[in-house]
Structure 1
Amino acid sequence: MERTHTPRSATSLTGKTALVTGASAGIGRATAIALAHHGANLVVTARREDRLRQLCDHIESTGAKAVFHAGDASRDDTARQTVALAIAAFGHLDILINNAGAGNYKNLVDTTVEDYDTLMDANMKSSFLFSRHAAPLMIEQRSGTILFISSVAGLQGAPGESVYCATKFAQAGFSQSLDAELRKHNIKVGTIFPGGVKTEFALGKGRTEETIRNSTMMDPAEVAEAIVFACLQPPNLRIPQMTIRHMG
């Protein structure tokens, strides 16, 4: 009888270079550490240089390699310089995790134009910029993975979250279009939709430390494992969308 072969996901990202935005805390930091644990070289970026330096020191203490560029992910020069750093440090870029983002829970009548611009820049513009500068490199090498860390707020609207939801729906639509556009270049594009996570996200803007601490929300490390799972799939398999929720 002919035996069939069932492809399994890889267990190592050794030799791959991963860039993670918003890496100074929360999901971004946990994802960088998890990717390094699986063998990847890390390029991390966020605004807080001291935290990035500590993160790189931690990653290198485990035997992996890591470099950082501090800057605002919604600025074109930050995206350009961080992608260039990946090439200068490691020669290629294989994985882009568009994780940088912000939250602000307000009713529409309380939302200012400045609130709108801040959320759109942090969540959507950053995703566009890093993808725009990473994609040509991945097209040239005919391989790569681009993931967007959206939210369940990008699947269903909620009161008090109209602008935040708009940014997360935008990420999902952007990702779907890129999936159709880049798949012919052997580039995988997908979106992760997490539920609530115990991070600094939206502290003072709809969340408090107490409500986060006492919740059943997910730990950032748990979300990071799901993100790594999406990066570890066999060459002929992609995950366009993945929703992850806690058990609460």
Structure 2
Amino acid sequence: MPGQLTGKVAIVTGASAGIGRASALALASEGAKLVITARRQDRLEALAAEIEAMNTHAYIVAGDANDETTAKRCVETALNEAGRIDILLNNAGMGNYKNLVDTSLEDYDQLMDTNMRTTFIFTRQVVPQMLLQKQGTILMMSSMAGLYGFANQAVYCATKFAQVGFAQSLDKELRPSGIKVGVICPGGVKTEFAVGTGRTEESVAQSSMLEATDVAGAVLLACTQAPGSRIIEIQMRTMNESL
């Protein structure tokens, strides 16, 4: 039986681990072809093998999402191999949880580049093709930290608020052309994200945070809406959140 996304083509950034990896597998489970990108070639190859075993296709573009060349290669790969781009998941990101006086300008630049610059670069490269198609779905992987300020996360929150504002503006700009734009805002997720920059492997393992597959389910929901509906924003928190 064909899946809900059979014939569709998705680009997923930060696909080598965590939410990106889980989301790529979720999209593939519904028949989408995937262009997966991240810096770690070996992990991309392992993910591609899993996707190929699901009777669809994965195309690897290893590179830094901060480099515009990587985004251009992803777009070229999608168009050359599959002829279209239906979904972009801007998932590349990092966390660094520090109080302000311990946050350097280098920390600021790295967070802003990894979380927001990558979002701009890939969206800017994908939108022209979606305008030609008069359809497409663009999702930003933000955070509950993009909706509320948290202590010791001022710069991280600033980058995630930026993604939410970017998505809201593009929703208004691109919707008349048939392009859907939304943002996913999960709370903490059990991944290697921010391990060594505010979290430890032990603290993540012992936490009651969301699973990456939980967030991937929200991504799939947003990507499988009927043509006449769109999801603007999804907020996600664990059931074990303190009252």
TM-score range, shorter chain: over 0.9
Match of 2:24 in 1: 32
Match of 2:154 in 1: 162
Give the length in aligned residue pairs.
239
Match of 2:225 in 1: 233
Counterpart Cα distance in 2 of 1:113 and 1:84:
34
Counterpart Cα distance in 2 of 1:100 and 1:164:
14
1:170-209 aligned within 5 A: 170-209=162-201
- Contact 1:11–1:232 under 8 Å retained in 2: no
Counterpart Cα distance in 1 of 2:155 and 2:77:
33
Match of 2:123 in 1: 131
- Contact 1:124–1:168 under 8 Å retained in 2: yes
Counterpart Cα distance in 2 of 1:108 and 1:86:
41
Counterpart Cα distance in 2 of 1:241 and 1:62:
29
Residue ranges of structure 2 left out of the alignment (5+ in a row): none
Give SS of 1:93's match. Answer: coil
| TM-score of the pair, normalised by structure 2 | 0.97
Question: Post-superposition, which runs of at least 4 consecutive aligned residues in structure 1 deviate over 3 A?
Answer: none
Say whether 1:84 aligns with 2:93: no
Match of 1:62 in 2: 54
Match of 1:4 in 2: none
Of 113, 117, 121 in structure 1, the residue corresponding to residue 109 of structure 2 is: 117
Match of 2:210 in 1: 218
Give the drift of 1:60.
0.2
Say whether 1:97 aligns with 2:102: no
Match of 1:143 in 2: 135
- Contact 2:210–2:238 under 8 Å retained in 1: yes
Give SS of 1:67's match. Answer: strand
Q: Which amino acid aligns with 2:71?
A: A
Give SS of 1:52's match. Answer: helix
Say whether 1:45 aligns with 2:37: yes
- Contact 2:3–2:31 under 8 Å retained in 1: no
Could you report, residue by residue, the CA deviation over 1:86-113 in whole angstroms, capped at 9, with x for unpaired residues? Answer: 1111100000000000000011100111
Could you report, residue by residue, the CA deviation over 1:23-53 in whole angstroms, capped at 9, with x for unpaired residues? Answer: 0000000000000000100000000011001
Counterpart Cα distance in 2 of 1:159 and 1:171:
19
Counterpart Cα distance in 2 of 1:140 and 1:64:
25
Counterpart Cα distance in 2 of 1:44 and 1:121:
20
Could you report, residue by residue, the CA deviation over 1:120-161 in whole angstroms, capped at 9, with x for unpaired residues? Answer: 110000000000000000000000000000000000011110
Percent identical among aligned pairs is 57
| TM-score of the pair, normalised by structure 1 | 0.95
Give SS of 2:76's match. Answer: helix
- Contact 1:43–1:66 under 8 Å retained in 2: yes
Could you report, residue by residue, the CA deviation over 1:159-202 in whole angstroms, capped at 9, with x for unpaired residues? Answer: 11000000000000001110010001000000000011000000
Match of 2:12 in 1: 20
Give SS of 1:178's match. Answer: helix
Q: Which amino acid aligns with 2:193?
A: F
Counterpart Cα distance in 2 of 1:155 and 1:182:
22
Counterpart Cα distance in 2 of 1:117 and 1:82:
24
